[in-house]
């Protein structure tokens, strides 16, 4: 290819224009193709940058989710690591602690060396019948607990996980099969005629009566009215034999109460406040009977 160029000569004389003819060679085809490769490389770099950006975005999102999960875990753990305590009557009760979870609201009316009288506010429970003959059989209790836990943690009409509450309650019902009142949140009660027990979870109070319906027909929702209860606290792990002995002791003690008596047909309730990994001497359990005022 021939190129004509023009330049100026700057000598002292009059400027003149000088024309030059320059002959160049055509660039090889490989050189001509270079811009195409550059465009391909640029496109590849853009795709790589997009992938890198996506990886960083996902990593950032994962980090944010992890931080929220860790924060939630720390909050839940603190409820067990930093428990609350009830007012104690003796050294055994002073060593007991309970998780900082929602429980039944009550007011202590009176207290002596053997028991205290409480007025409980109304609440709602989720209830199921246990498969065994005993209230504290490990297999039956585990099965019933899992059924109720599934409802509490999302197996319900709203697919909503609800907050855990305390304590676990075990209850025997009257022999005539009448539905009994229960307390927080897991209650097990025996149906006298059939040697059956029922377990219940206390429902978070923020729902009131607007609780999601269970998907499992074995779970029912009930409202428990306010009641007056005689309560005794004790530590350790609960057995059926222990419940029978403590119930008998409480009934005998209430015979000498000048203001309250055991309500006709009342059956025993056992509240267990702590998770299984809690040390026996720091566990808080309560055995209670419904009472009413004696007539003047």
Q: Tell me if 109 is assigned to some domain.
A: yes
Instruction: At 145, give phi and psi (nearest 5°).
Output: -60, -45
Q: Which two tokens stand for residue 166?
A: 């305390």
Domain residue limits at 261: 89-175+194-293
Count of domains observed in the chain:
1
- Under 8 Å between Cβ of 126 and 144: no
Q: Tell me if 260 is assigned to some domain.
A: yes
Q: Tell me if 14 is assigned to some domain.
A: no
The model carries a pTM of: 0.66
Q: Tell me if 142 is assigned to some domain.
A: yes
What is the distance between the alpha carbons of residues 219 and 200, in angstroms, rounded to a whole number? 9
Q: Tell me if 7 is assigned to some domain.
A: no
pLDDT in tens, the chain (296 residues): 544 444 444 444 444 444 444 444 554 544 444 455 555 555 555 767 776 676 666 666 666 555 655 555 455 555 555 456 566 666 677 777 778 888 889 999 999 989 999 999 999 988 888 777 777 877 888 888 899 999 998 999 999 999 888 887 777 654 443 333 333 345 555 554 446 777 888 899 999 999 999 999 999 898 989 999 999 999 999 888 998 999 999 999 999 999 999 999 888 888 888 888 888 898 999 999 999 999 86
Q: What is the CATH number of the domain that holds 103?
A: 3.20.80.10
Q: Tell me if 106 is assigned to some domain.
A: yes
**Integer CA distances (angstroms), 118 to 46, 148, 165, in order:** 72, 27, 19
Q: Tell me if 34 is assigned to some domain.
A: no
């Amino acid at each position: 290819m021939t190129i004509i160029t023009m330049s100026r000569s700057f000598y002292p004389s009059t400027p003149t224009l000088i024309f030059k003819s320059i002959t160049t060679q055509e660039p090889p085809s490989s050189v001509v193709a270079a811009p195409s490769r550059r465009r391909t490389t640029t496109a590849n770099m853009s795709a790589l940058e997009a992938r890198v950006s996506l990886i960083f975005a996902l990593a950032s999102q994962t980090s944010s989710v992890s931080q929220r999960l860790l924060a939630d875990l720390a909050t839940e753990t603190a409820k067990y690591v930093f428990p609350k305590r009830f007012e104690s009557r003796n050294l055994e009760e002073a060593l007991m602690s309970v998780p900082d979870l929602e429980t039944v609201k009550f007011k202590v009316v009176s207290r002596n060396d053997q028991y205290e009288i409480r007025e409980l506010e109304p609440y709602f429970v989720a209830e199921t019948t246990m498969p065994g003959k005993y209230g504290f059989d490990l297999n039956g209790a585990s099965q019933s607990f899992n059924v109720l836990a599934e409802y509490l943690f999302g197996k319900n009409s709203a697919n909503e996980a609800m907050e855990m509450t305390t304590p676990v309650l075990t209850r025997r019902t009257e022999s005539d099969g009448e539905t009994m009142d229960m307390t927080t949140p897991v209650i097990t009660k025996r149906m006298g005629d059939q040697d059956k027990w029922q377990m219940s979870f206390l429902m978070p109070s923020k729902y009131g009566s607007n609780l999601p319906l269970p998907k499992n027909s074995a779970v029912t929702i009930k409202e428990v009215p306010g009641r007056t209860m005689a309560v005794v606290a004790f530590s350790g792990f609960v057995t059926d034999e222990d419940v029978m002995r403590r119930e008998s002791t409480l009934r005998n003690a209430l015979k000498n109460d000048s203001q309250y008596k055991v309500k006709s047909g009342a059956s025993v309730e056992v509240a267990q406040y702590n998770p299984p990994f809690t040390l026996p001497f720091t566990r808080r359990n309560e055995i209670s009977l419904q009472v009413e005022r004696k007539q003047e």
